[in-house]
Amino acid sequence: MKVLVAACMVTCQFAVAQVVKIDPSSMKKIGSVDERFQSYNVEMVEVTGGRFWRPMDAQSYGLLEEARKRSNAEQVGTDPALFAYRAPIDLSNPRLRKLALALGPAYVRVSGSWANMTYFQDSDAPAPAKPPEGFSGVLTRQQWKGVIDFTNAVDGRIVTNMPTSAGTRDSQGNWTPELSEKWIAFTKSAGGSIAAAEYMNEPTFPGASGQKGYDGKRFAADVKTWKAMMKRVSPETILLGPGGVGEGTVIGKLAGPNMLPTERLLEQTGDAWDVFSYHAYPTASRRCTAGTPFQANPTQGMTDEYLKRTNTAYDFYAALRDKYMPGKPIWLNETAQAACGGDLYAQTFADTFRYLYQLGTLAQAGVQTVMHNTLAASDYGLLDEATYQPRADYWAAILWRRLMGTTVLDAGTVSQKDAYLFAQCTRNHPGAATVLAINAGDSPLKIRLPAGEAFTLSAAGTDSRIVMLNGKILAVAANGDLPPMTGQKRRPTEIVVAPKAILFYVAEARNSVCKR
């Protein structure tokens, strides 16, 4: 019955007072984004195997309560009980590769806090039972060759960061490049390349990767050494930085004195990179916020305030970019529904509104690429980590990849509460423009559009993990083949976007900007 109601929500007519008139043929170009704008992360600990965030099942919620009793609020996210061992991911899995290829071209960022502390074993010997001193994990040649083969197979390009933990430092605490040089040399010999790299994952939290007493001066000295090494051994690699996280949102308030501010880093480094990079989450998972005022709340996940945390984080970091790296491109290298592995509602249709709002608004702002955390690990993965079944955000990602090109258009605004409009030239369809209408509110949104094709995403409820396209349930075949995802042909018409539904509309706009 719920499915029938949801289908009616997509196609039935509602009495709506206001009609939003959209003319895609006259929309002006306001910017452009990278061909790999929509990208994703594969955590380094997935590749090596190791302890990562425990899935948020009923057992985990019990562990959270126990952790809260043992620790003060600021330490809950580090409790060992919240982590579980995972075996290395099989990047040769045909189903995984087929589903990832559908998202290409993309940057594949193999990184994370674990990467800071990973030792690259430059031999064909098996990984040791225990990592060398100063490291917490070991990356073998075979595992890294698997990453190279995977990215080549799925139209991906590798993004990463260097090992920076105590094992890479000399007796004075200076970072040494020898291990990274061996890693880069092997990458090239194995048929790969590193498209872009940060020096360290999230230097705003150096303590997370074992850096004690780390400050802006030490970071600047390390970056200078790293940059000289990269220019010598991998000059084609785009240098990204500083790569901070947590500022401009509630996460910064949660971190308190444990954070090393990005501006303190930039005061020492100045304009040291090719691209300004940052990481951003609108909130943190209950793994890290249980018992605090910042505990993730599924009821807030579609509110205007929550969605616009994306804008707040961007504004914070863009202001630093303008001050210290004026004119440089800006990338968002890591983001998802919630830091610390995501919460359960990251798997549901509720998070699809955040996912698409974030892509739409950051494209308008000029961010060149947005890397979702993760492809297939923990609760914020686009795919279930055990079965590789698509979650709700994956279907939105497929439509974005197929329909949204690199030219960003001015879609105008809508005054209706909790409704948002975005537009870009249609991918591989000269002259056409795709309008994205997100209705996170409780009232229908009525839009007048020219002839085109309608792709409406909906669900029986925002807590559902089953997504429908034009009223039909989306599911992949056993071999990973995607279902037909065709639009509904429409003449010039008024379309109702139901409450809690999302519309992609490919308009035959004959927009001169989109013919180029």
Instruction: Give me the DSSP letters along 495-514.
Output: EEE-TTEEEEEEE----GGG
Whether residue 511 contacts residue 433, with contact meaning beta carbons closer than 8 Å, is answered with yes
Average pLDDT over residues 493-512: 95
Whether residue 188 contacts residue 122, with contact meaning beta carbons closer than 8 Å, is answered with no
Average pLDDT over residues 399-413: 97
Residue 292's pLDDT band, with cuts at 50, 70 and 90, is: low
Residue 67's pLDDT band, with cuts at 50, 70 and 90, is: low
Task: Using the predicted structure, report yes or no on whether residue 198 has a pLDDT greater than 50.
Answer: yes
Among 3-7, 24-28, 37-41, 123-127, the minimum mean pLDDT is found in 3-7
| Residue pLDDT, tens place only, 172-186 | 999 999 999 999 999
Name the strand (E) or helix (H) holding 409.
strand 404-409
**Predicted local distance difference test score (pLDDT) of residue 306:** 92
Average pLDDT over residues 285-313: 81
Note if the bond before 105 is cis, omega within 30 degrees: yes
**Predicted local distance difference test score (pLDDT) of residue 10:** 44
Task: Using the predicted structure, report yes or no on whether residue 305 has a pLDDT greater than 60.
Answer: yes
Task: Using the predicted structure, report yes or no on whether residue 93 has a pLDDT greater than 80.
Answer: yes
Domain extent listing, the chain: 2-28+410-515, 38-378
Among 17-21, 71-75, 152-156, the minimum mean pLDDT is found in 71-75
In sequence order, the β-bridge partners of residue 109 are 41, 159
**How far apart are alpha carbons 30 and 118 in whole angstroms?**
41
| Residue pLDDT, tens place only, 140-149 | 999 999 999 9
**Predicted local distance difference test score (pLDDT) of residue 64:** 62
**Predicted local distance difference test score (pLDDT) of residue 290:** 65
Query: Is 2-28+410-515's fold the same as 38-378's?
Result: no
Average pLDDT over residues 495-501: 97
**Residue 355: which residues within 8 A CB-CB, separation 6 or more?**
337, 372, 393, 396, 397
Of the candidates 195, 207, 274, the residue with the CA atom closest to the CA atom of residue 242: 274
Task: Using the predicted structure, report yes or no on whether residue 213 has a pLDDT greater than 90.
Answer: no
Helix axes 141-153, 178-189, angle to 10 degrees: 50
Residue 2's pLDDT band, with cuts at 50, 70 and 90, is: very low
Torsion of CA 26, 30, 36, 41, to 10 degrees: -120
**Predicted local distance difference test score (pLDDT) of residue 279:** 96
| Residue pLDDT, tens place only, 447-461 | 999 999 999 999 999
**Predicted local distance difference test score (pLDDT) of residue 343:** 87
Task: Using the predicted structure, report yes or no on whether residue 288 has a pLDDT greater than 90.
Answer: no
Residue 66's pLDDT band, with cuts at 50, 70 and 90, is: low
Structure tokens at 305: 């305030």
Asked if CATH classification 3.40.50.1980 holds for the domain at 38-378, the reply, yes or no, is no
Distance of CA 232 to the CA centre of its chain: 30
Average pLDDT over residues 66-75: 54
Task: Using the predicted structure, report yes or no on whether residue 462 has a pLDDT greater than 70.
Answer: yes
Residue 5's pLDDT band, with cuts at 50, 70 and 90, is: very low
2-28+410-515 has which CATH code? 2.60.40.1180
Average pLDDT over residues 252-265: 80
Torsion of CA 320, 326, 327, 333, to 10 degrees: -30
Task: Using the predicted structure, report yes or no on whether residue 14 has a pLDDT greater than 60.
Answer: no
Higher pLDDT, 395 or 249: 395
**Predicted local distance difference test score (pLDDT) of residue 58:** 53
**Predicted local distance difference test score (pLDDT) of residue 259:** 86
| Residue pLDDT, tens place only, 108-124 | 999 988 999 999 999 99
Of the candidates 57, 153, 109, the residue with the CA atom closest to the CA atom of residue 385: 57
Structure tokens at 295: 């505990």
Average pLDDT over residues 340-364: 95
**Residue 217: which residues within 8 A CB-CB, separation 6 or more?**
268
Structure tokens at 461: 């409820």
**Predicted local distance difference test score (pLDDT) of residue 63:** 61
Q: What share of the chain is helix, strand, coil (3-state, %, to 5)?
A: 35, 25, 40
Average pLDDT over residues 10-37: 80
Mean residue pLDDT of the chain comes to 90
**Predicted local distance difference test score (pLDDT) of residue 261:** 93
Higher pLDDT, 4 or 338: 338
Is residue 360 helix, strand or coil?
helix
Average pLDDT over residues 482-507: 96
Q: What percent of the chain has pLDDT over 70?
A: 88
Average pLDDT over residues 375-391: 95
